[in-house]
Every structure is written in C-alpha cells, then in structure tokens.
Structure 1
Amino acid sequence: MNLLSSLKVRQRLSLTWRVTALSSLLLLVLVALFTWLGHYYLTLQFEASRLTQHERQQREIRLVLQRSADSLLQLASLTASAPNLANALAHSNLSTVADTLNALWPSLQLEAGVDELFIFDAQGHLMGRFGASTPSNEPPLQSWIGDVLATESPVTTLRCAMDCQQFVAVPMLLEGDSIGTVVMSRSLADVTRQAKEVSSSEIALLVIGDQEEQEAAEERRLPHWKGHLVALTSRELTLPLLQLASTQTPIDPLNDAPFSIKHASRYLELSAVYMEEDADWRSTSYFLLISDITDQVTAIKSATNTLLFVGLIGWLAAQLLQLIILLGPMARLRRVAELLPALANGKFSSVRAKLPVSTPRLSNEINVLEHSTRELSFQLETLENAVQERSQQLAERIDELASERDFISSLLDTARVFIVAQSATGHIQLVNSYTRERLALSDNDLLGRHFNDIFDQPTSLLTGDRDSAHHKGRAEISSQEEKIFQTVDRCNCIVAWYHTPLNDNLGGNAARISVGLDITERKTAETRLTWLAEHDPLTELFNRHYFQDAMLNSLSHQSEGAILLLDLDQFKEINELSGHHIGDQLLREVAETLYANLGQRSTIARLGGDEFALLLEGVNSEQAIHIAEYITQLLDSIEFVSAGIKHHVSASIGIALFPLHGQSPADLLASADMAMYKAKEQTASHWYLYAHEISATRSL
C-alpha cells in the first residue's frame, strides 16, 4: 500500500460526460447515415424515374416521326391518284400535269406543310416541280425513282443537312402499270412542335457533320459537338443552355441517359434521341430534349433537410433523457471512485466512514459496489497487517540466506578444483575463482555462455582422437565425463567432470552443478606408460612385444609378406672400445635411417641389443631381397665418426617369408634368425633368404 500512496490521481473527464459524448457521436453518425441514405434512395428513385421518362420520350419522338412520315405518304398517294394526272403523264401532256398540280399545290403547301413536289415519268424524266431545295441538300431522286419503279412500292426517308426534311416517293399507276413517280418532301418543323407538346420539354434539332460548305448561323453552331442547330424552341432559354452543355459532356452518352445541369438558378436535364432514319451519310442528327427538374430536385432537398432536422431533434431528446437517467447514479459512482485512492493509501477507517453501513432491500449495482468497497477495506486492512508481518520475516530470511551465500562463495573460491553451476539448458550461471584463474576470464566473459563452448573445445586429446570421441559420446548419458580445453598459456588441460543435478520441485529439466578435476598429468603418465609398453626407449622404434603382435595380426588376416632380421656387424667391438654411449648413438642413428626411408611401408622394431626387425606386408621374395639390398646401401651410407675414427656400418640380414616359412611369430623369427646367421657366414652378400634346407642342416 505504501507504494500506491506515491501515485497521483489525475483528473479526468467524468464517466457521465464520456458516455454522453460517445453516445452523442454515435447518434450523430447514425443521423447523418440515415439522412444520407434517405437522400441517396430519393435521388436513386428520381434518377430511375427520369431514365424511364427518357425512354418514354424517345418512343414518343419516334412515334411522332413515324406519324409524320405516314401522313406525308398519304398526301403523296392522294396526289398520285389525282384525276387526269395519270393520263396526262402517260401522254406526256405537260400542260395538263402543270394545271392539275397548280390546283393541288396551294392546299398541300399551306395546309399540309409540303415544301417540294416532283413528278417523274416512267423513264425518270422530271415532268413537274413545285417548291425549291437548297443546292447543298439536293436529294438523290433518281436512286429513289429507280427503287420505286422497280418494286412499285413507296419509299420514305429522312435527310438532314442545313435542315431536316422527310421525303416520300410513291408510284403512279395506270391500269396496273407504273407510269411515273410522285416525290414529296416536308420539313421537321411541325414535328418539332408536336414533339414539344407530347414530351412537355423544350426541343432542339441538332445536325452533326462536315459543314464547310454550309452557311449555318454562327450563333447556332456548337463546335464542341461539331454540329449546328437547325431548329429549337424557346430560343432564349434553350440556346445558351445547349452551348454550356456542349462544353461539359459529349453528345453520344445523352442518347443512353440524361445529363443534369444547373443553369440560371434552375435544374435542367438534357437528353438526346438519335434519328436512325437519317439517310444522309454525311451527317448525324439528334432530337435534343430539355426538361426542367427544379421542382423534383427541390423536393428531394426539402425531404433530406426534414430527415436531418427530425434526426437532430431525436438526438437532443435522447441525450437529455440519458443525462436525466445517469446523473444521480453516476454521482454515487463518482463518490466511490474518489474513495478508492484513499483505500489504496491505507486510509481504511476514513473510507468506511464515508460509505453507507446498510444496503437497501432493492439494491442496484452501485449499492453492491459500495458494500463491496466497504468489505474490501476490511480485507485490505487485514492483508496489509499480514504483509507487514511476512515482510519482516522475509527480511530476516534474506539476511540469513545472504550469510549462507557468502559462506558458500568463500568455500567455492577456496577449493582448487573447477566448480561450475549450469542451467537446465547448459548455460553457465556461476563459477569459482579457481576456474576464472585457470581460464583467465571474468564473470562477464563466462556467465551466460554454454558449458560446452568453454570446456569442450575441438582440440586433440593427449590420449588420441579415439578417446575424445569416446568421452564426448559418454557425456550425453553419464554424470561423469572427461573434456579438454586450452588454458590461458595455450596448454591442453584434461578435466574429469562430475555432474550432480540440483533439486527441481517443478519436475522439469533440473539444473546441475559440475565439479572438475585436472587430470592432465595423470593422462600424460598413462599415455607415456602405454607408449613405453610398445616402444624401445632408446631408438623410439617399436619393441619386440609390439612387433610380435603385429606379426600375429598379419598372420590372422592371412596376409603375405616378409620378415627381415638385421644384426649389426662388429657392434660389439664398437661398444666395448668406444663406450656404451657411442654404441647407443650408433643404434639411434641406424634406427633413424631405417625409419626415415622405410617407416612408411613397413613396421620397424628393435628386438634387443643390436638386432632390428622389419615387417613387410604384400611383398614377395624378390621384393624382399631388393629391400634387403636397399638396407645394405642405407647402412653403408651412414658416416659414423667417433673420437675421430670413422666406423663402417653394416648388418647381416635374414629374410623369412610368411606364411611360407612360419605360421606363428616364433617360427617366423626363428626362420629369420637362421637366415641371418647364414648371411653372416657368407662373404659375397649381407643378406640371405631362408630355405628349408637350413632347418634340416641345423636339425642334423
């Protein structure tokens, strides 16, 4: 509790206002979301209705065009069936044709709005014409006449250039034969007025194409759409709007969906109807429909604002209701919260004095919290007293453990052995002073490193690599092992380690303490004894015991080879006249010469005195004789000088082959010894190969 008394309680925003702020934020987000969704779905419905309206207007425009074409076709048919016109045309009576047409033309022009009328005979010659066409808009009449005369069916088409006109060509029949053709044209001005009445929108007629030769009014040109307006309604409103719209959207998308634009504080919608009937390949024509959607947009905005207003009113009402509900309980909760720091500082009596003693029958969570805080003060007070008592006991125990630690540390540092404490993973945790002294390393260099990194270095043991591998394998399964490492003076140190696990109450991998004894001198002595058991100390060659074991091993493997037994000539005289030390020197020099030249391919031993022996495996008699002669040359090349006297070195060599001359080491050595004495009796050479006759002679 004393530690908690130093903490300062920071003033924070009360929980009531936090809840209010977060809930307000959430409600505002929801209000904004619902308002946006309302606006989004209203707009979506409006766009869907406008798209439906756009499709309906396209159908109505095409229907108006079709009706206009049908009425023009009826007028042309009535004209073709006028009285006396067919007879006059059949007899090429131009005056009668002209009189008949003069009677019909005023009513066609004024009442039906016909712009041009042509009469052609069966050969396609023009027989009469009323009205005038623009040169640039001259229609392909001969092509139509050919189609009508060939099929005896009427032709209707639409051509747009400087203006848009509907054309119809019908055949003139007399007694079932085609005698000519009536061609009639009419402007789309009347169609534009009818389309306005049907669609309740402003209408414009746009022609797009190469207009270099056309003389359209500059103000009606729309450069961004590469076209011009040939007709429009409400020019003052429509023309500026179309000029603005042409800079903001291409013309092609307008045929699929309307385009909304704000102009002169009004919300307008622009759509297009492509006139597929236009037969003039040089141009493309569109009906443009301009609808005022200001009322619908204003209604959507009004509905959105209403949703937002209602949402904000609901938010304010919810927050006021929440504050009314929370203020009382949160005040009690804040009082309990203010008592908790005092409880943490150990002021248990003052905390209990500020809390109610009894709990109401109909209690709520705050009543439970107050009661729990009061009970907690009693428990904390009891716990603090117990902690103080245990702390005092712990302090006393720590002092005792510190004394024990110092005693054990002094004891470890006094011992002249390696003492290392390892963790369960083999990492060093403690070393004594003797270990630090031998390694010349500090605790910082040793603690934390793995045991094998320090005491299992890859250096060859004095007992050989075979013993090192044996100890390394045994270390994993035994509590005793031998390891090697280098000390600070770079000397190999062999240590016998004894590992003892420490108690682990948790049942896991226990740590262990390792005690190491330096057995380097003992190992050196053992190695020396082993070497002396197999070697001659004077010449450092193998001795008789090792040589006999080597012969026995070769015989057991059924190998073939030879034994060469050497006995130095006149060694006794040199040893007695010059002294034993001179004789020993001669023996060492002979041993060095033999080992230097034949040690890699044979086993060389000193059997005793001045006798040497060589074990050669895998050689025959000729090779053995060659080696004997080579040995004679080697000995002859030794320049041994003693007391100013040069001594000639030679030897008698007996050769015995195995397994021919013996099945055991004793038999082989006996055979070689007989051959050696036979060599001493000879004067021609210094060697002799054993033969069975020698054994027989000896026996006799």
Structure 2
Amino acid sequence: MTSKQQRKTRFISLKWKLLVLLSLLLVLINVSLTAIAYLKQKEQLELQRTEVREQRAREVDGLVQGTYSRLLGIAGLIPELDIDTEDDLDLAQHISAIVKEHGDLLQIEWGVDTIHYFSKAAAPLFTWGRNIGPTLSHTLIDHVIENEEPASALACRRECRQYVSVPVLQGHSMAGVLVVGELVADTVVRLQRITDAGIAVLVRDQSGNAASKGFLSPWEMRVTALSGAHASLQRLTRAAEQLPFTDLSQSEQLQLEDKTLEITAFPLTNDKTDTPAHLLIIEDISGHIQTMESAFRSNITAGVAGILLTELLLLMLLWGPMARLQRVSTTLPLLAKQDYGQARSSLKSTTNESFSHDEIDRLGETTETLVFQLEALQSEINNRTRHLLQRTSELAQQRDFVQGLMDTAQIIIITQRTDGQINSINHFASQLTAYDLETHPALHFDQLLHPKNLDPETIVKLFQLRNASLDLYHHDCDIVTAVGEIRTISWFHARLDVTREDDPAVLSAGIDITERQQAEENLAWLADHDPMTELFNRRRFHIEFEAMLQAAKRYGHTSALLYFDLDQFKDINDTSGHQAGDALLRVVAERLHAVTRESDLLARLGGDEFALALRETSKEEAIGVAQKIQEELSRVEMPVRGNKHKISASIGIVLYPLHGITVPDLMANADLAMYQAKDAGRDNWHLFSVDENIREQIETKIQIKEQIEQALLLESFVLHFQPIQQISDGRISHYEVLVRMLEKDGSLIPPGLFIPIAETTGLIHKLDRLILKKAIKRLEQLQQSQRNITFSVNLSGMVVDDPRLLPYLKKQLAKHKVDPGSLVFEVTETAAVSSITAAKQLMEQIKALGCRFALDDFGVGFSSFFYLKQLPVDYVKIDGSFIQQLASNKEDQIFVKALSEVAKGFGKQTIAEFVEDEATLQLLADLGVDYAQGFHIGKPLPELLPE
C-alpha cells in the first residue's frame, strides 16, 4: 500500500511527458536544420570566395599577358618611329634618336620607362631607364640571340618591372636585341580598376631595415606599390603581425575593427636568382559575413517561434479528450500500412463527447497528431527520394560528359590492368592507332610499342607501375599502328588505386610528337648546313676540318685549304636584286660539287665566301683544283632582267702543315692569300707564302677601315677650302672643298691615306654624302651672311654606282635652301670615262637641279678631247702634271693653249691646278686659261679667305 502511494506521489501526467518529449524532439530538429543551413551558407560563401580568387588569378594573368602583348607591340613599333633627321644612322643611334624625340610619348602615353638596345653579341649599345641585371640579361638577351624570337621576364628588385625583348632586323639578318620595360605598378592600377579591391605589390627584402617606409618586418617584405582604400599600409602592417605570409597563397581572413578582410597572395615571379615578389589582393567581405550571420539569426528566431507554436498546438490537443485505448490500439496497425486516412477516421470515433476527458482520450488525440506527423514525414521522404533520383541522373550526365571529353580530346588516353591488357581506349587513340577493343578485345599495351623501344628499362618500369611499386613514369617511344604506320608518342603513366583484379591499374596519356620530332631533326640539319646551298655552314666546316687535320696528323698526310669569294658579287645584288644573288649562289654550289671529290670538305662560310678542304693533297693538286674551279665558274652566265652576269673567284691556297697546323691559322692565312689574289687583279689564285708581308698590309687596311667607320659614326671629318682665282680680275669667289679625317689626338689624316681604302671597302658612298651634307650646310651659312661663294665638291670615282646620291642631294638642297648654281661637282676624267654612259646620265640629272660639273685631271687620257665633247661638264681642270713645269716646258705650253682653245670652243671654262708661282699665273693668263688654283693662290684651310 505504501508502495502504491509512493508511485502515486511520483506520478507525472502523460501529457507533460509527451509535451517534454516532443519539445526536445522539435528542438533537436530545429537545431540540426539551423546548423545545416548555417554550414551550407558558410560552404557557399567559401565556394563563392574560391571562384572570386580564381577569377582574380585569371585577371592577374590576363593583365600580365596583356602587358606582355602591349610591350611586344611597342618593341616592334619603336624602330619604325619617324624621327626628324636625314642623317644615315646605325640602329643604335637610330633607336637613341627615337627615344630622345619620343621619350615623353613612350613614358607617358605608353607606360614604357626602360629601353635597352644590345648588339647581336649581347653588348649594350643603348640604355634608357633602369639597368637590367645579368640574370635578366641571360633570360632576355641570350634567349633572343640564340632563338631569334621574343622573350619576356618579370623582375623585382626595388620595383617590379615587366620586360620584353625582341630581335631587331636589318635586312634579312638580326642586327641586335631591343628590350622594353614597364613598371608593374601600372598593371596594379589597371587591376584595381577591374576588381575595385585593394592591391599591393610586395618584394622580398631581408635587409631588416624596419625603419624603411613600407617595410613589413614579420614578412621580411617591402611594399613597392599600393592602391585602394582597403590596402592601406596600416592594414598591411596589422595583417603582417597577425597572419603568416605562407598562408596567404590560399587566402586568409583578417578582422580589423568592424570589417572582415580577405587577403590573397599571388606570386609575380619565382626566379631564384631574382628578388621574389607577390601581388596581394585585399577585399572587404564584411557584407557577406553579415548576410550569413543575419540569416543564421533569422533561422534561430524562426525555429524558436516554430517550437513555441508547435508546443502550444500540442498542449491544445493534449487537453482535448483522448480516444479509447482499444480503438487506438486497433488504429495503430493502420499506421504501419500507411493508411493514414482510415487511421484519422478511426481516431475520430474514439473522441469522448462527455464534459471531461481521461488520459485515454488524450492518447487518442496524440495518436491522431502522430498520424499527421507521419504523413508529413512520409511526404518529405518521398520528396527526398525524388531528389536522390534526380541527383543520380545528374551524376550519370556528368559521367557521360567525362566520357565525351575523353573521346573528343586530341590526346591518347588508355587504361591498363595489372597484366598490361588494355581496359579502355578513347576515340582519338583508336583513330591514331587503328585499334579498338571491339575488334581487338585482348589488346595488350606492349603490342602498341615498337620492338626497338621494348628495352629492359622500359619493360621494368611498366612492370613496376602495374604492380604498384612505381607511381609515375614518363618516356618517349615509337608505336606501330594497326596499318603499320610508325608514330612517336610522349607517354605519361600514372598508377591508379585497384580494388578488384579487373579494375584499371595504370592510366596512360600519350601526346603525338611525330611532327615535333621531325621539326627537331630539321633544326639539327639547319644547325650544320647552309639552307640556301645545302653545303656545310661555318660551324660544321670548322668541326669537320679539325677532324681532317687530326687524321692528317695521325697518318702523316698533307692537306690543303682553298678559301675564296666571288668577285663583284655585291654588284649583282645591287643591280638585279638579292633573289638573283641567291640563285647565283646555288648555281655556284652545284658547279663546285662538279669539280670536287666526295671526300673533300666543301662549305659556304657566309655571304659569297666558300671554303674547300682537300684530303691527302699536294701543292700541285691544290693549284689544279683552284684552276678547275675558276674554269668552271667562268662558264656560268645568268641572264636576269636583261643583264647577263658572269662571275669569277679570287682563291687563296694554304697547305697543311706547311702554312699552319690549326684551323684558325690555316683559315687566317688562306684569307690573306685570297686578298693577295684580289690585289693581283681578281679571277686569280694565290698560294700563301710566309715570307710575304701582306698580313701587315691588310692589318693596316683594317685599322684604317675601322678609323673611317668610327669617323663616319662621329662625323669627325673636317672640311678645308682651297681658293680658286679668276685670272682675268684676280677675284676669288670659288673654293674647292677638300676633306681631312680627324685623329683622336687632333691631328689630321690626308685623303690620300683613307680615300682608296674607303673606295675598296664601299664606305666611300657614306663619305661622299657626309661631305656633301657638311658643304651644303656651310654654303647655307655663307649665303645667309650675303656672301656669294661657289663650292667645288669632289665626288669619288664610284659615285656612278651610288643610287642614293641623287635623292640625298635633292633632300639636302630642299632642306637648306641653297642656290644649286653655287655647287660644282668634280669628277675625275678616268672615273667618268670608265662608265661614260652612267656618268653622263648622272651628270645630266644633277645639272637638271641647277648644279654644275667640272672634269678633274683632264689631259691624262688618250681620248680626252673626245670625251670632252660627250660629257656635259661646265669646267675642265687641267691636270697638274702639265702646269708644274709650264714656265720652262714649251710642249706643256702648246698643250695647255690647245686645251684652252678647244674647251672654249665647246663652251667650257678651264681651271689650272698646281699653280706655284707668279710666272706660271701670268703665263696662264696669256694662254687663255680662266681660273688658277695652287699654293701660290692659297693653301687649303679650314676657313675661307676674308673678302
């Protein structure tokens, strides 16, 4: 009895038990759903930020690539910019002039702040802006010189710059390398405009200079560029104190004041020889965080309200009458059958209509509520089932997409089992190999490989892959297709996880590199051969010649080297074009093959230079081969554009070991012998002799040639003026312009020492134009000072071969606004007679501009009077050999008088040279000569005589 009373005192009503139980259940469900929703929002936010970071990475790469493309275009445009000069400048001076004239445009409008120009030997010729280091020099300069293609580099020291180097062409060959650079800060500004985020560029600085502005001690980095309100230096300092820099590659969040910042680091360069640099993007994600937290609070509020409302409804239901227990017990099986409608009808009949309800009535009502809940849960289960089926369908679509990608990708994709049998093969592989698993179900991977590639190493590596003792393996090998075609494939094998025996164990991806390998073979051939003539080039010739000399030394044989070039080959290029010159070189190569043995070594060294090395050859045999070459080339006749070109060669011969035992010595001596052959009259051969002093002569010529080139570059030629007197009235209004070359010590080199060398080396044309430019400029100054002076300017004997002289003269006359009638051009009689048609045409064209001509050294030729009639000259300068002894030599007096009368008959005036005394001057007046020139009248001086 006491026990029953105790149980009654501890009784808790069923309604409260059910209320507590269901409340806990609702709280658990609400908390779970709220937590899941919060985690889902957080996951979505992280996914969104990941996509943003990937987008930022693409934007950074895009801007860097865009900067590269823009710099590449600018680098190609710079040499083509117009400059305000008519001078002939080399490339370095030309680029310097462009930068001087367009520097502001390049820096302000195009953002370029660094320009360098290097020779093709990597020597710096021009520098504007910041210097580049040796590491970048290797990356930017050596790469372009070796490959003749653009290169790019991103370098950071005190500042970050992007550089682009391009080859600069002159004609058909590379003349140098142009490097342009731009501050990465400009790219930072463009990136900030795109992203509207804070941007900072950090450079590794281990100097520890904490006092330096922008130095972040925890990171050992220095800020070189900063933009955006969120990227202030104060925030970066706080970030450096709280976050390790290594974590920023995956981005980190930083709480500063009331804002949440996301900081992501992107490496700008990873060159170990340079200063590492990173680009930081700082974005304010406070709004995203606040949105997520607000949604979380809303979910909690809704959940609590839902729980309270549910508990209220449960209370209302529990306070109502319960169905009878028996009817409830008979109703419960209906729930197992999911017959919820019948269960609800059954529960209605359990309701007690009396005023009061007992616990059984409350149980019935609770069961009815349970019916509703179970029905709702069943509906949710059905919805989730449909969602699961939909997700399964999506996964199937993704699988089909991957399969389609494998079938359309232009790469071989094969999976192998542990025994090497192919498990799957994609469509491209089937097309390339002509194998498929339908017709070859038991195809083994090793069957694809060429037998020569089944070496022990490859077999062992593939075995290790299939047996899980090797994870990765890469090799290049040939395969044999089903139709017998051989292709070269670069294979990349990777081990896969295997759960069953028939699962794929190895994934093999292959790239067809057949065409690339063929291209590499072609490049290897080009490295040793001249592509125009298909002969060995200079590099290969040196290698083979060295091997020939080693063999000759070992067996005691003698050998010979013939070094030759084609005479007047430049004239063919100038008159008929480089295509005709190239065709002629190919014909020469064919003819050389016809007169040489297979054992001989034949090469084109460059331009029109060839070399022939003869094995086991005596002096007489070498001379005989040289004569055969000259005979064979003499038969060559190429008609081009109405011109018939005949060629000849000057050949230098050296013998091994008589004239040298090394390749450089033999090549140098052969070159000297070749120059001896040219000096002997061309179309000749010359055997080298150690007793000759030609080396010293050529070295002297080379030294003077270099002096001329340097003087042309610096325009260190000075003009002297020798007065010419009009004999009738003694007036001097006419001066001959003479040129002197200025030495470094200030001394003057007379023209007799450098003019012949300038003519033989082709520099005379530039010298003619420089003298013409200086003379016209001086004439302009005299005319502006109201001084009426006539200049007589000497033109070289090769002037008729210079097509640029006439346009240059027109340009200078138009620029300086001088009277063309005050210019007289002197041409020697021998030069005019050597090509009288061309000389006459040139004279007529220049005279059409208003200028005049004088025929110099007249009288030394046998047909002087005949050519006096043919050439449109205004003055005739009597050669000094007839004037020096005029006072004492009756024959000279007769000749000068006759010449003066004939000249007057043709309407031309005469000038006597080498007038040394007053007696000669008086005699010239009696003989009818119009003008006199010589030391008696005046010596050549840098200034004109006063009026």
Question: What TM-score bracket applies, with the shorter chain setting the length?
Answer: 0.3 to 0.5
TM-score, length basis structure 2: 0.33
Larger radius of gyration: 1
| Structure with bigger RCO (C-alpha 8 Å, 6+ apart) | 1
